[in-house]
Chains A and B, each alone.
Chain A
Amino acid sequence: MQTPENRSKCRSRVLISGASGGLGKAFAVECASRGWDLFLTDMNAPALETLAAGLRRSYNVDVITHACDLTDLDARLALFERIRVNSLRFWCLVNVAGIDYEGPFFEQSSQQIRTILRLNIESTLDITHAMLKFRDPCATFRIINVASLAAFYPMPVKATYAASKRFLLDFSLALREEVRSMGATVTVLCPAGMPTTPLCIEAIEAQGWMGHITTMDTGRVADKTLNAALAGRPMVIPGWVNRTLQLLGSIVPARLVAALVGSRWKSAQQKRSLDKQPAMP
């Protein structure tokens, strides 16, 4: 008979980074509801523990948590060491961890810019490289990278973030061809804004009707993306409005798109800063 202990040893898992944030949590819940065993990492240790306990309770799956700061090389090495020592195996990797400090480039601190690059690019590549070693030899290895709709355009006010997501988009599409012969697939997710935190919801509201029609629920996005990854599809853009925007973005010259996006975001930002000011007496 299978006990939980030996089951947890012989079943390969899904690794999700940034698992206690909005989209990461949605992926974790979706995977757990499909009965898949998990390995979750995030910076926020208490939130990670609460989520893992909830998933074990609700879906009776095996969940391992590892709280760490992925921008730190030593922390990443410790993570890989733990996986190696426990001889864990994975059949799916979901790279969700990512960050953006919105604001004009020169107003951001150099520390913030380094963090964006380290988390969005360096750590994602590092984890993908390591996990290819720890993949389950008996299964097709599914990699899901979370880019963004921002990956398709140069975006003023989110310049570093959008460019880092472009990096992930191109990298994912190229890697997909490389790892095909290893029995692995790469799916890149390019979502628009999602209502994950009060701050995100505020940002969506500030964009007005445009924000509303481009926004999709995290639950549906996670569900669709996992189905697409299982089918081995290269790219997921949730929502037909967003697909149309992507198409337009690929036809219109990049510098024109940048100017257009810039004017939209500037007005949205102005509206938000106006909202924050106390009402006139």
Chain B
Amino acid sequence: METRISEKTVVVTGATSGIGLAVAEELVRSGASVIGIGRSAERCAAAQAGLHRLNPEPWVAYLTADLSVQGEVRGLGNQVRDLLDTWNRQALDGLVNNAGTFSYWLTLTADGVELQWAVNHLAAFLLTNTLLPMLQAAPLARVVTVSSGSHYNARLDWNDLQLRRHYNGLQAYGNTKLANILFTREMNRRLGEESTVRAFAADPGLVKTDIGMKGTPGIVSWVWKLRRSGGITAAEAARGICYLLTEPSIQDVPSSYWKHGQPKAASHEAQNCLNAARLWKISSQMCGLPVEECYANA
């Protein structure tokens, strides 16, 4: 029943830097095959070369896609399937929805969605739904979405989910991280207890990455630089995520929210299953997925 780690294949988004790259490194070191997803072809090639140097044994490939564009996220489905075919693999054993961004100003994507909402939440939602058939083909598969402790202060405004009318970058970030947890909970509920696919939301803690430097004016990136100096390294954060990806014993643990390999209580808002169902419906509509789709019998 168990797949050995060297036979596992995992998709990691935002895998060219920060936590995503560290997760890919950790996986490659243990012999798992990795499909990384990044925005810039250049950085993808550099990351792939680095991973190959680390361990030339497993398959490693990078796909370029701008996750803020829903058409490109949808296109990844076929690209991942093609890769699995060429590697002679039948299934995906894991997906890490790690890609995240921050924006100080309200920015709308090509689809007309607020940038952070599109990348941090909708892209994870859509990519997971797109890759789900491949994940369900594995004996045991995990979907780990990288959330954050910033969700504790967040509260979704159902009349203005993307904060278009009163935008605040940090608040918008917290909302998307709350959405990550609600998505994870609702996914597990829809899949049912018998499912071989299990979703987790991971809190990596405060990590020394460049996320606070994305699309921010001088003073904000300066504050972030100061704040992150007390954080842990990306490699330490990656260990917690790889644990959620590979540890067989946690399959039946009901907790959806984890920090450093330990279950943790998410915020009150994040535990509201009505909110989770509501968000799932709205997200389906925003991504053009059938709204009443349910996986309980899959």
Contacts and interface: CB of A to CB of B under 8 A. Distances in A.
Interface string B276-298: 00000000011110000000000
Contacts of B110: 47, 50-51, 54
Nearest to B69: A50
Interface in A8-35: 22, 25-26, 28-30, 32-33
A26 B106 CA distance: 10
Contacts of A53: 111
A220 B106 CA distance: 9
A29 B218 contact: no
Interface in B49-91: 69-71
B111 A51 contact: yes
A122 interface: no
B166 interface: yes
Interface size class of chain B, counting residues whose CB lies under 8 Å from the partner chain: 20 to 34
B165 interface: yes
B217 A212 contact: yes
Interface in B98-124: 105-114
Contacts, number: 71
A249 to B, nearest CB: 25
Interface residues of A, number: 28
A234 interface: no
B101 to A, nearest CB: 14
A191 interface: no
B112 A25 contact: yes
Contacts of A47: 110
The A interface is mostly helix, strand or loop, or mixed, namely helix
A201 B70 CA distance: 24
A222 B112 CA distance: 13
Nearest to A222: B164
20 contacts: A22-B108, A28-B112, A29-B108, A29-B112, A29-B164, A30-B164, A50-B71, A51-B111, A53-B111, A54-B70, A57-B287, A58-B286, A195-B107, A215-B105, A217-B164, A218-B106, A218-B108, A219-B114, A220-B164, A220-B167
Interface of B: 69-71, 105-114, 162-167, 215, 217-218, 285-288
